[in-house]
Amino acid sequence: MAVKLLCLGLLLAQLGPSRAKQQTCLTSASNCDECMQSGPECAWCTAPHSNVRCHTLKGLQRAGCRKRYTYNSQGGVQVVRNDSSSEPVSPEAVFLQPQEFSLRLRPGVRQSFPLTITMPTGQHTAELAMDTTPVPAGVNVTFISSVNGNLLVVQVNVEAARCPSESDDSSQMQNRTGPWSVHITPRGFSQSVKLEITLECQCDCTRNREENSLGCSGRGALVCGQCECNKPYFGQQCQRDTDLFFSSNEDACRSGPNAPVCNGRGKCVEGFCECENRVNPTERYTGQFCECSNFDCPYHNDRICGGHGRCECGDCLCDDDWTGEDCSCSMETASCMANNQKLCNDRGMCQCGICVCEPPYTGPTCEDCPVCQGPCQQHAECVECRAFGTGAKKDRCDQECGYLIVTMVETKQDVPQTTAFCKMRSRDDSCVFYYTFSNLPSEGRSTVVRTKECRPN
Ligand SMILES: *[C@@H]1O[C@H](CO)[C@@H](O)[C@H](O)[C@H]1NC(C)=O
Ligand SMILES: *[C@@H]1O[C@H](CO)[C@@H](O)[C@H](O)[C@H]1NC(C)=O
Ligand SMILES: *[C@@H]1O[C@H](CO)[C@@H](O)[C@H](O)[C@H]1NC(C)=O
């Protein structure tokens, strides 16, 4: 089948200066209408709280706007009347089908639809010009036709360049966006097709205003996903109150009624403290009212927190094994360990790695006792009770003198390698006895001479 392409007719209406196609959408568009008009590729996100509203479909998708929240009307064509021919085609008339269309035109988006023209009997299908009644400024109607047997199929393209701007003549939107009726008539015939054209310059969603929407804190209308706040409220969800905001602005930055704004360490911006920077970049003020810092902490040895912790809001948080206000105190105890493997000889507390000895003991591990009695006197009563069962401790000997291991010998000469004897006068019998004493860490050893020296006074 031979298909001949015929250009039948061009239209008419002169069109506004053609605008360079915008490559980017007006991302700063303040509402859906403005966005849609910024370019045919632009879409609007109606999702609540969306940060990106106006972008290309892809851009919105990237920004996380779900499909169901994407508004991107492309306009459309509807067939209003499509009567079939019941009567035989008359010799002098063409038959047009469909007979009536309704068009919604989004500027920049072309609408196309076919028109079937049945020529009068006997007439050859030939070039046929199409006449159009005046179209609104900025609207372009063009035709491409092809022959299909005795039918002429005309593709009608309708496109609007742009929405009328506010400064256009007509003051009312109704006049500026239609609907307008346009009739298309094959030249030389009386039958015509009617187009009802409307410019889509307003987003559908603007008609679905939700007044006092909960999404707008009940203080504004939700329009196309955005809040239009009632006065004096503002904010993404109309959550803020201009009056309150400006009057209590500074007070919101005080920790107390008379406290300085941001503790004098920052400035109050929209009710929130912005703490000032320090010259030293590692030093920072923090906290709701800049009340904290990471450098106002105790120092030890010229180092903050002794170099063993970090400073948080005036307090040292010490590293493991360190304690104290300034983290100067080691919890390590090796330095407190005495030769007998007892911390501070059991005579003191190990604090910060240093023995704090109970009086009268002194020394690094509390081994010294300058004022203590010598070992002879110190252990004499235990030696006596252990060796002879007499003396001051005879009734408490087991409890108090268990540490003492006593070896009895008969005479002084039986004591091996003796340097010096201790000498003790027993209160019970006024006799003197001799013994040696050696002080080992965990026990005492004494060698006692059994033979007492008893001299009548
Ligand atoms: C109009 O009606 C004809 C049948 O008479 C049908 O073939 C055609 O698809 C219809 N066109 C439209 C656009 O509905
Ligand atoms: C109208 O259509 C003609 C022919 O296709 C084209 O050259 C012209 O640029 C169009 N004008 C507008 C404003 O779309
Ligand atoms: C706009 O349309 C209204 C009717 O819809 C009409 O009364 C008015 O005169 C029109 N204005 C202009 C400037 O055409």
> How far apart, in whole angstroms, are the C-alpha atoms of residue 251 and residue 266?
14
Beta carbon of 98 within 6 Å of any ligand 1 atom? yes
Residues 6+ apart with CB under 8 A from 202: 33, 173, 177
Token couple for 219: 């203080």
Structure tokens at 383: 């030696």
Query: Exposed, middle or buried: residue 359 (CB in 10 Å: 0-12, 13-18, 19+)?
Result: exposed
Residue at 367 is within a domain: yes
Given the CA of residue 18, which atom of ligand 2 is nearest to it? 13
**168 CB near ligand 3 (under 6 Å):** no
- CB crowding 63-73: b at 16 or more within 10 Å, else e: eebeeebbbbb
Residues 11 and 147 in one domain: yes
Q: Which of 372, 403, 425 represents a domain boundary (last residue)?
A: 372
> Which H or E element spans position 380?
helix 375-388
Cβ atoms of 285 and 311 closer than 8 Å: no
Report the number of secondary-structure helices (H) and strands (E) in the chain.
Answer: 6, 33
Quote the strand ranges of 200-281, DSSP E.
220-223, 226-229, 233-234, 240-241, 266-269, 272-275
Q: How does strand 111-118 pair with strand 151-160?
A: antiparallel
Find the 3 Cα to ligand 1 centroid distance in Å.
21
Please state, in angstroms and rounded to a whole number, the distance separating the CA atoms of residues 19 and 155: 25
- According to DSSP, residue 397 is labeled H
pLDDT tens, per residue, the chain with 457 residues: 333 333 332 332 233 333 333 347 887 788 999 999 989 999 999 988 777 889 989 888 887 888 999 999 999 999 999 998 766 556 677 889 999 999 999 999 999 999 999 887 777 767 788 999 998 888 999 999 888 877 889 999 999 998 877 665 555 445 678 889 999 999 888 889 999 999 998 899 998 899 999 888 899 999 999 999 998 887 777 877 766 555 456 777 888 878 888 888 888 877 778 888 888 877 888 888 888 888 888 899 889 899 988 888 888 888 888 888 898 888 888 888 887 788 888 888 888 888 988 888 888 888 887 777 777 777 888 889 999 998 888 899 988 888 888 999 998 888 876 667 888 888 778 888 888 877 665 677 888 999 888 876 5
159 CB less than 6 Å from ligand 2?
A: yes
Using CB atoms within 10 Å of the CB of residue 383, give its burial: 0 to 12 exposed, 13 to 18 middle, 19+ buried: buried
User: What letter represents residue 441's amino acid?
Assistant: P
- 189 with 317, same domain: the answer is no
3-state DSSP call for residue 207? helix
**Residues 367 and 381 occupy one common structural domain:** no
Name beta bridge partners: 273.
268
What is the 21 CA–ligand 3 centroid distance (Å)? Answer: 31
Res 211: pLDDT:
94
Question: How far from 143 is each of 38, 111, 154, CA to CA, in Å?
Answer: 27, 12, 6
Same domain, 34 and 56: yes
| Cα–Cα distance measured from residue 382 to residue 392, given in angstroms and rounded to the nearest whole number | 9
Is the domain of 6 the same as that of 101?
yes
Q: State the total domains in the chain.
A: 4
Q: Where are the beta strands (DSSP E) in 88-210?
A: 95-97, 100-105, 111-118, 130-132, 139-148, 151-160, 180-186, 193-199
**Is the minimum distance from the CB of 242 to ligand 3 under 6 angstroms?**
no
Q: For residue 417, give the CATH number of its domain.
A: 4.10.1240.30
Nearest residue (by CA) to ligand 3, atom 12, is 170
Q: Can you say whether the dihedral through the CA atoms of 54, 207, 70, 114 is positive or negative?
A: negative
12 and 100 both lie in a single domain: yes
Domain end, chosen from 372, 403, 432, is at 372
SS3 384: helix
Q: How many CB atoms lie within 10 A of CB 106?
A: 21
Say how far apart CA 209 and CA 230 lie, in whole Å: 13
**10 CA: nearest ligand 2 atom:** 4
Residue range of the domain that includes 325: 299-330
Which pLDDT belongs to residue 16?
32
Residue 198 and residue 180 share a domain: yes
* Residue of 82, 100, 102 to mutate, ligand 1, most atoms within 8 A of C-beta: 82
Question: Is residue 145 in some structural domain?
Answer: yes
Handedness of CA 100, 104, 108, 111 (dihedral sign): negative
* CATH code of 358's domain: 2.10.25.10
Specify the pLDDT at position 143.
Answer: 94
- 86 in contact with ligand 1, CB cutoff 6 A: no
Q: Is the CB of 161 under 6 A from ligand 2?
A: yes
Q: Say yes or no: 24 and 160 in one domain.
A: yes
Distance 171 CA to ligand 3 centre (A): 8
List the structure tokens of 204. Answer: 């559908």
Decide if 271 is inside a domain.
no
Strand partners, 96: 117
Are the CB atoms for 222 and 237 separated by under 8 Å?
no
Q: Specify the pLDDT at position 15.
A: 33
Tell how far the Cα of 247 is from the centroid of ligand 1, in angstroms.
68
DSSP 333-354: -GGGB-TTSSBGGGSEEEETTE
CB 303 within 8 A of CB 328: no
Q: Report the CATH number at residue 83.
A: 2.60.40.1510
The reply to whether 325 and 397 lie within a common domain is: no
Residues 36, 72, single domain; the answer is: yes
53-57 CB contacts, 8 Å cutoff, 24+ apart = 53/27, 53/29, 53/225, 53/226, 54/25, 54/26, 54/27, 54/28, 54/29, 55/25, 55/27, 56/25
Classify residue 384: in a domain, yes or no.
Answer: yes
Question: In the prediction, which pLDDT does 88 show?
Answer: 58
Establish if 270 belongs to a structural domain. no
Q: Is residue 257 part of a domain?
A: no
Q: Identify whether 199 is part of a domain.
A: yes
Same domain, 324 and 421: no
Residues 378 and 355: their CA atoms lie apart, in Å, by 24
In the chain, the amino acid numbered 73 is S
Domain contains 33: yes
pLDDT at 166: 65
Same domain, 341 and 396: no
Unique residue bearing structure tokens 């105890």: 333
Could you tell me the pTM of the whole model? 0.51
